Amino acid sequence: MFFLEFLKDMFSEPAILMGLVAFVGLIAMRAPGHKILTGTLGPILGYLMLAAGADVISANLDPLSQMIETGFHITGVVPNNEAVTSVAQKVLGVETMTILIVGLVVNLLVARFTRYKYVFLTGHHSFFMACLLSAVLGAVGFEGTSLILIGGFFLGAWSAISPAIGQKYTLKVTDGDEIAMGHFGSIGYYLSAFIGELVGKGSKSTEDIEVPEKFGFLRNTTISTALTMIIFYLVSAIAAGPEFVSTLSDGKSPYLFAILCGLKFAVGVTIVYSGVRMILADLLPAFQGIADKVIPNAVPAVDCAVFFPYAQTAVIIGFISSFVGGLIGMFILGAAGGVLIIPGLVPHFFCGATAGVYGNSTGGRRGAIVGAFVNGLFLAFLPALLLPVLGELGFSNATFGDFDFGWIGILLGKVGGQFGQMGIYVIMAAVLLVLVLPSVVHPSKIAINNEGMETD
């Protein structure tokens, strides 16, 4: 049990996972000792920096969320991955951590022996998905070894399939950098890119927005982010009233507190960017060793925030557009008599920003705005549809926030509820066919949908 707990903790830590991957790659490349040391520590420190920035962002989004709820008199359910996971862990702790480990092994086997050569490195999202799978499959009646093996199969398979689905879009985002999307909001990002293709013909990139010389300082991402968020915070603080904001500010002036929160948010974003640069500087060269020696042509699938520096203006546009979509989705749900899904600012920032980056890659400014807006609508509707499924499992008023958790939980929950275990086995057979078919129909050593990177 202690060993399983240790493995679960280690493999759910993206920083350690990235360090191990870099270590294996450098060993495979027979790099000298000092390069192994620095090349292993680089991705670990980079991801810890990214996580520290994300913590700063999340910590400062929490009071903003409370001010919006109070100021605009909104009550309902706020989707939160961590909250529902913490509840599930009390009931399904052993199953979750065992599914996590089996899922990681399945992902590596799929990457080694099929054309889905994507290695999923975002460990905390693997952990969240393992939790969802253990809960939904357990409700269908699976238990023990069958629960663990089936859950691990789904986790490992989707960890390899989801980066492949939109890799053609990811190559556009990164301008050909050999990385993939390793985040379970993936379908929302690819949908945003697809929408960008439909609506963005002739639209200039968000990064080409012309700024008059006197406003040239706005090209500094940290400053423009700070100014945007200060406006957000001040409007919310005024709506909530100084008396309520004082309960959040520990006696500090409510409006000064709002301004400082906006500034700290911008600092968090800047820390994320710095961490991403550090990850990519060491991880990509080291991963080449794995791609050459261990899993030929492997592609690392990394966290969504890694893609922020590729279109920094689209990050803010995507966040705002997604949040507006979430608000409209909330009002539609309210008018339809459904549960109000209050836009969670953390998923709308990270998922909405990424949707903006992907929408911009195919449709410029219009793609970023419309793609992220549609993503925001789904971040309202999917958690609302998932809520009854989780409610049947005993997780009342708790739901996951990101796109893939929503549709996978709904699919497995509804099929399992309607057709029992046989329905789940049918889905497994379909997934297995998806994994095997590309190798039969179009044999190649190159990862599926990554053919653009093939060289002579």
Confidence of residue 456 (pLDDT cuts 50, 70, 90): very low
Q: Is the pLDDT of residue 396 over 60?
A: no
Residue-wise pLDDT for 54-86, tens only, equals 788 878 877 887 888 888 777 667 676 666 666
pLDDT for position 454 = 44
Neighbouring C-beta atoms of residue 228, cutoff 10 Å: 18
Of 88 and 255, the structure prediction assigns the larger pLDDT to 255
Q: Supply the DSSP string of 110-135, one letter for each residue.
A: HHHHSS--EEE--HHHHHHHHHHHHH
- What single-letter DSSP state applies at residue 293? I
The domain tally of the chain equals: 1
Confidence of residue 453 (pLDDT cuts 50, 70, 90): very low
Q: Determine what percent of the chain is predicted with pLDDT higher than 70.
A: 89
Q: Is the pLDDT of residue 196 over 90?
A: yes
pLDDT for position 273 = 76
pLDDT for position 449 = 86
Q: Is the pLDDT of residue 438 over 80?
A: yes
pLDDT for position 93 = 66
Cα 104 to Cα 15, 111, 128, 172, 197: the distances in Å are 15, 11, 13, 28, 34
Neighbouring C-beta atoms of residue 129, cutoff 10 Å: 31
Among 10-19, 227-236, 306-315, 354-363, the range with the most confident prediction by mean pLDDT is 354-363
* Domain encompassing residue 236: 2-453
To the nearest 10 degrees (0 to 180), the angle between helices 123-140 and 421-441 is 130
What's CA 28's distance to the chain center, in Å?
29
Q: What's the average model confidence in pLDDT over 170-194? A: 93
Q: Supply the DSSP string of 181-242, one letter for each residue.
A: E-STTHHHHHHHHHHHHHH-TTPPPGGG----GGGGGGGSHHHHHHHHHHHHHHHHHHHH-H
The residue type at 369? I
Dihedral angle of Cα 399, 405, 406, 407, to the nearest 10 degrees: -160
**Mean pLDDT, rounded, of the chain:** 85
Residue-wise pLDDT for 277-299, tens only, equals 787 777 777 777 777 778 888 89
pLDDT for position 283 = 76
pLDDT for position 61 = 76
Confidence of residue 455 (pLDDT cuts 50, 70, 90): very low
Q: Which of 314, 304, 309 is nearest to 403 (CA)?
A: 304
Q: Is the pLDDT of residue 173 over 60?
A: yes
Q: What's the average model confidence in pLDDT over 17-37? A: 86
